[in-house]
Structure 1
Amino acid sequence: MYKEDLLKKLRKNTTLQFDMPKTTVKGITYPDVVKQYINMCETVGCKVIEAKKNDDLNAIIRKAYPNAKVFASNVKGIKADRNPDTVGSAQELNGTDVGIIEGDVAVAENGCVWIPQTMKEKAICFISEELVILVHRDKIVNNMHEAYERITMPEYGYGCFISGPSKTADIEQALVMGAQAARGVTIILIG
């Protein structure tokens, strides 16, 4: 009750309201966004593979993960053992060695990628031991300001930025990889 009473008094005594000022924010820009993106990806712990537009992505992925047994993806043209659109529940993706997803906007400033939920079960993004993110070179932007201008919310109403493999140092101040999501992330730059 106290909170509501306080808010009521504040509303009653507010006589003037001001709109937020329009400010133009110019974020950092780079002479070569692709080079900067690659550098930042490596800084945050990603492996980066550069592919040409017509390269066989399945062969590139299998070469990068020769010992993987279970691949999961719903990306058109990618061969996978599990499809996050057709599994009965997210638990069926448990045990996925390599999840392959497609990024929508990549950011040179910090090496992150906007991953819209384009699959029924988004668990593939977090439950896979290794994550491969396909990124088209023409979708790399300089900074987060530019990224937010390009983001559209997908049909499922969820998306997230991923930047490198999951890591934490909360446990005895020792760096642990894969504590909350993938142990490793590989970015395949296409085009």
Structure 2
Amino acid sequence: MRKEELLQKLRANTKVQYDMPAMDDLHGITYADPYQQFAEMTKTVGGRIVEARKTDDLNQIIRNLYPNAKIFASNLPYISIAQRNPDSVEEAQDLNGTDVGVVEGQLGVAENACIWVPQTMKEKAVCFISEYLVIILDKQNVVNNMHEAYRRIEMDPRYNFGTFISGPSKTADIEQALVMGAQAARGVTVLVLS
């Protein structure tokens, strides 16, 4: 059966038609305390929240979180413990073997613990190839839901790419056994700054 024939049959058998809902009326779920919901959801999806002040020594906090890590990668100017910089490596595979990648998240979403991480580095592989990922997020940048998030997303014009990350990578496809770090980081820490 061709596509047009199928569509004609569907139209002929449609008894009642409804107008599409107005999409501008969609606001999504809201929370009394979006940050508290975000923190709870982050734990639910397997991540962890660490709170700090903007004036704290973030390098020492990250080093203390991962005392056995040998290779840190980041292009953030205030992360001095990084031995690898995703802006200066020759190619993405040069980031292979990174124990901890450190990136900035633009905003967090309370309903599902997603964090929008715009690509602000040459090699975005740091977000996926690192064994563990630290996402630095300003506490004021937590929104209620994905509707709010999509309205606030900003792209770096150099790269025009970003991704939502929610906790560590996980899958239960193989024999229904949960495997962490199947396609990306085995662990994600959200370092929330206030």
Length-normalised TM-score, structure 2: 0.88
CA change 1:77–1:23 in 2 (3 A) is closer
Is residue 189 of structure 1 aligned with residue 192 of structure 2?
yes
Give the Å deviation of 1:171: 1.0
- 1:166 equivalent among 166, 169, 176: 169
The answer to whether the Cα contact below 8 Å between 2:27 and 2:148 also exists between their aligned partners in 1 is: no
Q: Which residue of 2 aligns with 1:135?
A: 137
CA offsets per residue over residues 3-30 of structure 1, 9 Å max, x none?
A: 6xx59xx9xxxxxxx9984531121111
Q: What fraction of aligned residue pairs are identical, expressed as a percent?
A: 61
Moved over 3 A (4+): 18-23
CA change 1:153–1:68 in 2 (3 A) is same
Q: Which residue of 1 aligns with 2:116?
A: 114
Q: Which residue of 2 aligns with 1:55?
A: 56
Aligned length, in residue pairs: 180
CA offsets per residue over residues 93-150 of structure 1, 9 Å max, x none?
A: 0000000000001001111100100000000000000000000011110111100000
Cα distance in 2, alignment partners of residues 187 and 20 from structure 1: 36
* Gap runs ≥5 in structure 1: 11-17
The answer to whether the Cα contact below 8 Å between 2:115 and 2:165 also exists between their aligned partners in 1 is: yes
Cα distance in 2, alignment partners of residues 137 and 126 from structure 1: 23
Cα distance in 2, alignment partners of residues 103 and 23 from structure 1: 26
Cα distance in 1, alignment partners of residues 44 and 20 from structure 2: 40
Question: What residue identity is the alignment partner of 2:167?
Answer: G
Question: What residue identity is the alignment partner of 2:179?
Answer: V
Length-normalised TM-score, structure 1: 0.89
Q: Secondary structure at the match of 1:23?
A: helix
For residues 1-191 of structure 1, the aligned pairs below 5 Å read 6=4, 21-79=22-80, 80-155=82-157, 156-191=159-194
* Gap runs ≥5 in structure 2: 9-18
Cα distance in 2, alignment partners of residues 60 and 92 from structure 1: 26
Give the Å deviation of 1:182: 0.2
CA change 1:84–1:25 in 2 (3 A) is same
Cα distance in 1, alignment partners of residues 132 and 23 from structure 2: 42
Cα distance in 2, alignment partners of residues 62 and 86 from structure 1: 22
Give the Å deviation of 1:153: 2.2
Cα distance in 2, alignment partners of residues 138 and 149 from structure 1: 16
Q: Secondary structure at the match of 2:49?
A: strand
Question: What residue identity is the alignment partner of 1:172?
Answer: E
Q: Secondary structure at the match of 2:140?
A: helix
Question: What residue identity is the alignment partner of 1:64?
Answer: L
